[in-house]
Chain A
Amino acid sequence: MNGSVATVGRDLGRVLEALGGLMLVSLVVPLLWGEFYAFPALLISAAVPLGIGRALSRRFRTAEAPGRFHGMIVAASGWFSVGVFGSLPFLLVAWSVQLGVPGVTTPGQTATLAAFIDPLNAVFESMSGFTGTGLTMTDNEEVLPRTLQWWRTFTEWVGGVGVIVLTTAILSRPGSGSLTLYQGEARSKKIHPSVVSTVRTIWWIFILFTFVSILALWVAGMPIWGAINHGMTGLATGGFSITDNSIATYDSALIDFVLVPIMLLGSIAFPVHYLILQGDLRNIYSDLQTRWVFGYMGVGSAALWALLYFAGPYDTPFAALRYGLFQFVSAATCAGFQTAVDATNVGLDRWPAYAQLTVVFGMFVGGAAGSTAGGIKLIRGLTLVKGIRYQISDVFFPASAVRRLEINGRRLNEEEASREFMEAAIIVVLWTAFLITGIFLLLLTLPSGEYSLANVVFEVASAQGNVGLSAGITGPESLPDLGKVAFLFHMWIGRLEIIPVLVMLRTVFRRGGLYS
């Protein structure tokens, strides 16, 4: 047996065991809400990954400790597996309602829940949750059983923590801007010296922020069940909602403005949160990514406000500010909550193309590495800009000159600078290539003339950036099956920042075995 297979198998087993555990914890929801018909479905859903996971982890319990390649393959295969097995509650609850559960009162089937009878829709919803995307196969989230409302929220929340752990502790590498970014200079005290304590601390920060977010939304006027769900998905910058029109359902400017800082919290690197909680407030402006989170969101929101007010659909400066600020922050943090809908104002799909493309730009860049946000990440954009400037100015120095590239207080020598610049460039090129491929594919599969090019670009960027805003294309009927499969891939690679997925696919398809 290849030793690497054993290592990956054991760790994948542990991931599946954890997924089963999350489902077991969620069993309290159908009990609290009296949705007893959902209980067996959730229990069986938990038993499957638990059983497979236990078998794998026991079979390979003596495997060697994982290296970097194993980490990448476990991350890629783990996220994929969690997406697949996480679909079981959607699938089984939908079938439970469809067929009825003996001895238990079962509600009538709804068109929204019936969509999950199709396994592809269930996997789509699950993958969208665990990748923190927020695109959905539901027509009306309000009519979903509370059990599934919770499971959607929980997938995004756990996926949010997962990606922070992944980028901060497990897959940190040059140019990823995650842990390496916070190892330099005096900021290296923590997040913590070991992976285990790092993970604990990330959970600690995340849970504390979740409580604060939930209570802030509740105080702003949101009902408690909505506050719990939106607080969790807002901080995780996932964007699943429990209402049909996302946040627009509440039609409350106060709720909109309270959600903005919650989404921003999720898009700031968690090592910076740690330092701020320890009293080092300087990081708000001294940390490159955090400074840019505020600067870039501010400039982007102001630009969108101007477009929406002076040349767009809103009549008052306040309305343009309210919807422009919220939608740009929602896009750039990759949360994907929506307040611009036709039911209360002007739907995103009816915004002028230039306004939609401004939002797309926000999705493309995303938030900070080491946060829950998607996109290419601010640090890569900044590394590219600084690297290009560095390369061009190189012409003006003698060949013997010793030069350093400074990024966030770290002084990189020529080799380090070249490596980080290349990594950032590779990610951006791959990201763009997959985006363009997805756009072509969607244009080929959608009925011609039904959606504009801006709509299609918007939707694919939203899936790959793990944003979740929709121009109306994503839905159980409106998105063809091929488009759903393509979006599954976009969401997956977007969450894992592409490279781990490519490493896994190369390993599986070309080598026929794992790296030894």
Chain B
Amino acid sequence: MTPSELPVVSAVFEAGADDRLFDSLLLLGPLVIGMAAVGGRSVLVEAIAIAYIGVFLGYTLYRGVRA
């Protein structure tokens, strides 16, 4: 069984914008929020959260410019 065949993962892959990076962001979202909730406000978690937002914005713009 590949990761894309897991129940939640396959549902995420089947819907949406047909893009694996966005799908990955969707799957990683709860993890990052969980880290913020459990780990509290630390430089590392803030950096991860900023990276998450940066990847989302940057990749959206990148796709737009590339298209």
Contact = CB atoms under 8 A, between A and B. Distances in A.
29 contacts: A200-B11, A200-B14, A201-B16, A203-B15, A204-B17, A207-B29, A208-B26, A208-B56, A211-B26, A211-B30, A211-B32, A212-B29, A214-B33, A215-B33, A215-B49, A215-B52, A218-B33, A218-B49, A224-B36, A228-B33, A276-B64, A277-B16, A277-B60, A278-B67, A279-B67, A280-B64, A281-B64, A281-B65, A281-B67
Interface residues of A, number: 27
Contacts, number: 85
B15 A201 contact: yes
Q: What's the dominant secondary structure at chain B's contact region? A: helix
A478 interface: no
A253 interface: no
A343 to B, nearest CB: 25
B9 interface: no
Interface string B1-32: 00000000001101111110010011001101
A390 interface: no
Contacts of A205: 16-17
Interface centre among A201, A215, A216, A219 (most CB of B within 10 A): A215
Contact of B36 (A197, A204, A215, A281): A215
Interface residues of B, number: 30
A197 B17 CA distance: 12
Nearest to A280: B67
Nearest 6 interchain pairs by C-beta: A211-B29, A281-B64, A204-B16, A279-B67, A279-B63, A200-B15
Nearest to B34: A224
Interface centre among B16, B22, B30 (most CB of A within 10 A): B16
A36 interface: no
A201 B23 CA distance: 11
Nearest to B64: A281
Contact of A219 (B11, B12, B50): B50
